[in-house]
Each structure stands twice: as C-alpha cells, then as structure tokens.
C-alpha cells in the first residue's frame, strides 16, 4: 500500500476493500484501537472551511490515542508566508501524518512528494477520496454488497463525482453521472474511471436526462450545485440545475428500496427537498458518521 492517500486510484480493489473491512471492525469495536496511535500526531491543514472533515479527523485521531494539530490559513498562509516545501519539511519532523483540505490538487501531490510522513487528501477541487470511501462503506452497510449495484449521481460533475467514479470503477459499481450540458466531470477523470471500469466489469456513464438516469438506481446521490469557490455562480447555477433537483418524483423513478445520499452540507430546497433528505430511505447522517470510522481506518493503515 502506498505511503499516502491522495486519490481512490492510489488503491487497488483489494486495498479499498481492506480499508472498508477495517473500518467496519473499528466501528464495531472502537475500544480495541484506543491506543493504536498513542503518541502520534496528525497535522490538519485547512484552507477550506469544514464541519465533517474537521470533526472526524480531530475526533478520530484522539479516539486512536493520538493528538491533532489544527493549522488554519491565517496561521500558515500556505505558499505565501512560507513555501509549501518549507512547511512540509518542518512538519515532517514534528508529526507522523498530515491531512490537508485545500483548493489545488497539485498542492496535495507536491506535499506528498516533499513529505517523508503520510499525506491524506481531505479534499481538493479535483477529488474527495475520504468522502467516497465513507460513501461506499455506507452503501455496503446498507445493501450488503457493492459489485453490480447502480449509483446515480445527480448534479455538478465535481470532485465528489470524480471520486465516486474512481471508487465505483474499482469496486464494480455502475456509476451514472447526470448533469446539465457543460457541467460534466473533468474529461481526464472520466477517462481514467472508464479505463478502470473496463477491468472490473463496472460501467461509467454520462447523462443529461435525470429521469432516465435514475431508472433502476440502487443509490441516488447529489451534492450542492455551487461548491466552495463558486459562490459568484450560485444564482446562475440555480437556474441551470433546477431540473436536476432530487425530489420525491425523481426518487420515485429509482429502484424500489433505493437509498438517498448527500455528502453535506445540503442546500435544502435547491439540490434536494426536505421530503427526500429527511425520508426513511435517506442515509445522509449515517454517511457523515462513517467518515469517522473510515478515516480512522485510513490513519491506522498509514500511521501505525
């Protein structure tokens, strides 16, 4: 297994399943791991605001017996007050792992290249691998298995969509991304996912018709229409994406027993209605909790 966790594509199918299995054990028997990372410190760099990433990594490392160090933009001003290289070379002498939540994916790649300690991607504009790991862990918990399921992602072809495709392609899950024209996933990310899918028996499809796309879906997933950094486009996107709102009518076109997922935060009334996100088939808060268990598993694999 590689030193870092930067993308789902860093891991083979077997390695992903091993992480999910460990996450299940950690969730069921947290007491067994209470001292596993005793004396170890995780530096947490946040250039984007966070609730779930902050809470789950912070709580997670402490539940494993370790410590966390929170570093905010006002404190380090990465790349401006001090170079990325210098920040990384300082931290590697003080901590046993670095989690970074930032804008540019290249920052994460460079930090991992500079660092002798593990680097974990807490989110970039290109990918959100920890989220996707928690998502597939939640699907596995709910559905019992993964291979052969259909996941339909409704909305912007963003970082979450990329990681869902990457993981689905590795795990044999059929992933359909349905979005307005012009808002498709990054072409390179799509190509990589399709290449992986050809080896696992999965399929990756792009659709511009949500009614057709969600047909026979086991999982319907959405995200905000305007991500962090796209606030100026929010009003325009609201008009363009309105036909892609996940409401009761759209969920009714999915397979009976389908679950609803959202990585949160949700803009209720935009990408999803209250009647869907609060329905019995919604697993959004189970998803959020599972970030904790999956990330504990990732830290255990990288920092022990």
Cβ(210)–Cβ(250) under 8 Å? yes
Q: Would strands 259-262 and 219-222 be described as parallel, antiparallel, or unpaired?
A: parallel
Helix (H, G, I), strand (E, B) or coil at 12: coil
Catalytic residue among 63, 96, 131, 287: 131
Catalytic residue among 9, 11, 40, 128: 128
101 counts as catalytic: yes
267 counts as catalytic: no
Q: Which residues fall within 8 angstroms of residue 239, CB to CB, at 6 or more apart?
A: none
62 counts as catalytic: no
Catalytic residue among 263, 270, 287, 293: 263
Rounded CA separation 199/197 (Å): 5
286 counts as catalytic: no
Over the range 47-63, which residues count as b (16 or more CB within 10 Å of their CB) and which as e?
Answer: bbebebbbebbbebbeb
Helix (H, G, I), strand (E, B) or coil at 38: coil
Active-site positions read 101, 128, 131, 223, 263, 291
């Amino acid at each position: 297994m590689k030193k870092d966790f930067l993308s789902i594509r860093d891991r083979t199918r077997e390695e992903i399943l091993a992480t999910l299995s460990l996450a299940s054990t950690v969730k069921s028997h947290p007491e067994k791991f209470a001292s596993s990372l005793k004396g170890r410190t995780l530096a947490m760099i946040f250039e984007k605001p966070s609730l779930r990433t902050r809470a789950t990594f912070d709580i997670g490392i402490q539940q494993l017996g370790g410590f966390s160090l929170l570093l905010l933009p006002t404190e380090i001003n990465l790349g401006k007050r001090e170079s990325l290289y210098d920040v990384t070379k300082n931290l590697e002498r003080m901590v046993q792992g670095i989690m970074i939540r930032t804008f540019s994916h290249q920052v994460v790649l460079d930090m991992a290249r500079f660092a002798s300690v593990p680097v974990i991607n807490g989110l970039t504009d290109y990918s959100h691998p920890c989220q996707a790991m928690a998502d597939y862990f939640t699907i596995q918990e709910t559905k019992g298995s993964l291979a052969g399921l259909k996941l339909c992602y409704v909305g912007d072809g963003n970082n979450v969509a990329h990681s869902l495709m990457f993981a689905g392609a590795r795990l044999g899950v059929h992933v359909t991304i349905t979005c307005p024209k012009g808002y498709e996933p990054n072409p390179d990310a799509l190509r990589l996912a399709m290449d992986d899918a050809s080896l696992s028996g999965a399929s990756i499809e792009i659709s511009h018709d949500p009614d057709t796309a969600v047909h026979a879906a086991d999982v319907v997933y959405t995200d905000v229409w305007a991500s962090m950094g796209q606030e100026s486009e929010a009003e325009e996107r609201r008009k363009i994406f309105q036909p892609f709102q996940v409401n009761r009518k759209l969920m009714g076109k999915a397979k009976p027993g389908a679950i609803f997922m959202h990585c949160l935060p949700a803009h209720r009334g935009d990408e999803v209605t209250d009647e869907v996100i609060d329905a019995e088939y919604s697993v959004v808060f189970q998803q959020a909790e599972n970030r904790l268990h999956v990330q504990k598993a990732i830290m255990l694999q990288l920092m022990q």
